[in-house]
């Protein structure tokens, strides 16, 4: 476990020794130098006790993504905007033998359009009881978020059949707290002169953030449940939750709070999905008792190899390249009407999830249960993106004209 800073007390570490940084990856997982530097910088932060870096580690805005950090102080900026973001794995009541990719893709295009406000759902009632304004409830969002129908590609150990069945189909939902988490983070930045020294968890500011953080975490899990229910509704089937694992949050521990940033916060006895890209295999793993050493954190996905900006121009330059981005090696399809997003989320932007799983297993953190293949991935539907944009521009010009008189 993490090394303890001595008797001076962990709250007063500016001149103390830096926190221990442990790497749970091998040289086979290429890690960008700037991400390692961000880990090293974090080790100097006041109250920081122990940091774990995972094989999907990559640079982020306020700190690296793919890490878990135990600290006596709270660092909201290490968690960022999408508080409570995570992955939900569901079993669909839709046997693989009856499953048709094209038909399912057509149905799933309706995922975010139906009058889901009329859906009768306990999850929806619960989410609405948490926050009055919940207009983004049941929506996936952008970036790396998705809702994907999967099937077992390979069972990797005999015990896997307890959880997963080759004859069934599954749903992996990656989403978070949408504009709720974004507003909590914006208010936290505005309400604190600096977050450089972190917040005392017992202070008013610390409690204020923790309280709203907890709400985001709960809301995000309900959001994933509702997305799954909406997917089931348009596919005319049912869903059953297998595992919901957040990877963007803090959790109270014996000696402080563990900050999970793009690192799945797992529990003993559960299972967890590790997402590949939309054109590569994802995995389901069982966290082992050995994961206690990494603060019960493991990787949450393949991890980016190229940042979003870097991807533009690399692919999607021709019509055939763009069409290729929406197909995969298993005959699966992706629904993504946003060209830029499709390029940013191309399989080539990501590292290999198989290597991530191998590194985690090699460090005794997980046992791989299954490889899962992508059949239909819902990213974003935009009926007429360009027209909407033109309308917006027209409205703005008209407003300006009216202002001038």
Partner DNA sequence: ATGTGC
Which residues are annotated as part of the binding site for GMP? 144-148, 247-248, 282, 300-303, 379
Shortest spacing between CB 272 and DNA, in angstroms = 19
Using the rule CB under 7 A, which residue among 66, 80, 256, 374 binds DNA? 80
Q: In angstroms, what is the minimal distance from the CB of 253 to DNA?
A: 25
Question: Residue 252 contacts by C-beta under 8 Å, 6 or more apart in sequence?
Answer: none
Q: Is 300 a catalytic residue?
A: yes
Residue list, annotated binding site:
144-148, 174, 247-248, 282, 300-303, 379
Between 114 and 142, name the residue whose CB sits nearer to DNA.
142
- Minimum Å gap between C-beta 81 and DNA is 3
Closer to DNA at the Cβ: 144 or 192? 144
Pick the closest to residue 92 from 232, 282, 285 (CA basis). 232
Are 149 and 375 a contacting pair, CB within 8 Å?
A: yes
Residue 88 main-chain phi, psi, to 5 deg? -115, 130
- Choose the binding region for DNA from 43-51, 107-115, 174-182, 361-369 (rule: CB under 7 A): 174-182
Contact with DNA (CB under 7 A): which of 52, 84, 124, 178? Answer: 178
Residue (85 or 217) nearer to DNA, CB: 85
d(CA 47, CA 18): 9
Residue reference for tokens 């998705």: 146
Sign of the Cα pseudo-torsion (102, 107, 108, 110, in order): positive
Pick the piece of the chain touching DNA (CB under 7 A) from 80-88, 123-131, 153-161, 227-235: 80-88
C-beta closer to DNA: residue 287 or 303: 303
Nearest to 264 by CA among 233, 278, 289, 285: 285
Residues 40, 103: Cα–Cα separation, whole Å: 49
Asked whether 295 and 70 are in contact (CB, 8 A), the reply is yes
* Beta-bridge mates of residue 165: none
Following DSSP, what letter does each residue of 141-206 receive, concatenated? -STT-EEEEEEEEEE-SGGGGGT--TTSEEEEEEE--HHHHHHHHHHHHHH-S--TT-B-TTSHHH
Least spacing, CB of residue 201 vs DNA, in Å: 24
Stretch of residues binding DNA (CB under 7 A), selected from 24-32, 103-111, 155-163, 170-178: 170-178
Strand 256-261 to strand 248-253: parallel, antiparallel, or no bridges (unpaired)? antiparallel
340 Cβ contact partners less than 8 Å away, ≥ 6 residues apart: 312
3-state secondary structure of 4: coil
Structure tokens at 362: 């090699």
Closest distance to DNA from the beta carbon of 378 (Å): 14
Among 177-185, 209-217, 267-275, 358-366, the segment contacting DNA (CB under 7 A): 177-185
Q: How many residues make contact with DNA (CB under 7 A)?
A: 17
Q: How many CB atoms are closer than 10 A to CB 402?
A: 8
Give dist(CA 27, CA 15) in Å, integer: 32
The whole-angstrom separation of Cα 87 and Cα 301 is 10
Q: Which of 10, 63, 176, 198 binds DNA (CB under 7 A)?
A: 176
Q: Confirm or reject binding of residue 221 to DNA (CB under 7 A).
A: no
Is residue 379 within the footprint of DNA (CB under 7 A)?
A: no
Cα(187)–Cα(319) distance, rounded to whole angstroms? 43
220 or 370, CB closer to DNA? 220
The tokens of 49 are what? 């006790």
| Residue numbers belonging to the annotated binding site for Mn(2+) | 145, 174, 247
Q: Applying CB under 7 A, does 299 fall inside the site for DNA? A: no
Cβ 220 to DNA, closest distance in Å? 10
130-159 residues near DNA, rule: CB under 7 A: 135-136, 139, 141-145
CB of 65 to DNA, least distance (A): 8
Q: Between 121 and 136, whose beta carbon lies closer to DNA?
A: 136
**Residue 49 three-state SS:** strand
Catalytic residue among 58, 257, 300, 363: 300
Given candidates 23, 179, 200, 251, which one binds DNA under the rule CB under 7 A?
179
Closest CA to 353 of 276, 295, 278: 276
Q: Among 76-84, 104-112, 116-124, 319-327, which window interacts with DNA (CB under 7 A)?
A: 76-84
Among 13, 38, 71, 81, binds DNA (CB under 7 A): 81
Residues within the interface to DNA (CB under 7 A): 80-82, 85, 135-136, 139, 141-145, 175-176, 178-179, 182
| Residues identified as active-site | 300
């Amino acid at each position: 476990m993490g090394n303890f800073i001595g008797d001076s007390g962990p709250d007063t570490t500016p001149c103390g020794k830096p926190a221990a940084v442990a790497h749970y990856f091998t040289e086979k997982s290429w890690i960008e130098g700037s991400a390692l530097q961000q880990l090293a910088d974090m080790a100097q932060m006041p109250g920081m006790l122990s940091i774990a870096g995972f094989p999907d580690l990559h640079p982020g805005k306020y700190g690296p993504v793919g890490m878990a950090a135990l600290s006596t102080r709270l660092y909201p900026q290490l968690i960022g905007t999408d508080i409570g973001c995570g992955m939900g794995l569901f079993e669909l009541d839709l046997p693989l033998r009856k499953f048709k990719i094209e038909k399912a893709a057509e149905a799933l295009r309706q995922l975010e359009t139906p009058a889901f406000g009329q859906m009768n759902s306990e999850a929806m009632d619960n989410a609405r009881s948490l926050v009055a304004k919940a207009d983004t409830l049941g929506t996936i969002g952008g970036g790396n978020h998705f809702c994907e129908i999967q099937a077992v590609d390979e069972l990797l150990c005999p015990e896997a059949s307890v959880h997963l069945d080759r004859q069934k189909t599954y749903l992996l939902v990656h989403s978070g707290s949408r504009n709720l988490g974004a507003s909590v983070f914006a208010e936290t930045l505005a309400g604190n002169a600096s977050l450089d020294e972190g917040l005392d968890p017992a202070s008013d500011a610390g409690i204020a953030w923790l309280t709203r953080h907890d709400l985001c975490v709960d809301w995000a899990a309900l959001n994933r449940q509702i997305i799954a229910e909406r997917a089931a509704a348009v596919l005319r089937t049912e869903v059953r939750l297998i595992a919901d694992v957040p990877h963007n949050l803090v959790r109270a521990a014996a000696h402080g709070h563990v900050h999970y940033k793009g690192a799945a916060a797992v529990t003993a006895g559960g299972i967890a999905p590790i997402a590949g890209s939309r054109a590569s295999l994802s995995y389901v793993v069982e966290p082992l008792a050995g994961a206690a050493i990494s603060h019960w954190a493991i990787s949450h996905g393949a991890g980016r190899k190229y940042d979003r900006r870097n991807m533009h121009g690399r692919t999607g330059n021709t019509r055939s390249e763009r069409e290729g981005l929406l197909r995969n090696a298993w005959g699966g399809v992706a629904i993504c009407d946003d060209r830029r997003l499709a390029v940013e989320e191309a399989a080539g932007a990501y590292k290999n999830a198989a290597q991530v799983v191998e590194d985690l297993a090699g460090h005794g953190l997980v046992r791989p249960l299954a490889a899962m293949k992508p059949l239909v991935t819902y990213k974003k539907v935009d009926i007429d993106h360009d027209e909407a944009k033109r309308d917006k521009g027209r409205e703005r010009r008209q407003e300006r004209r009216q202002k001038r008189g």
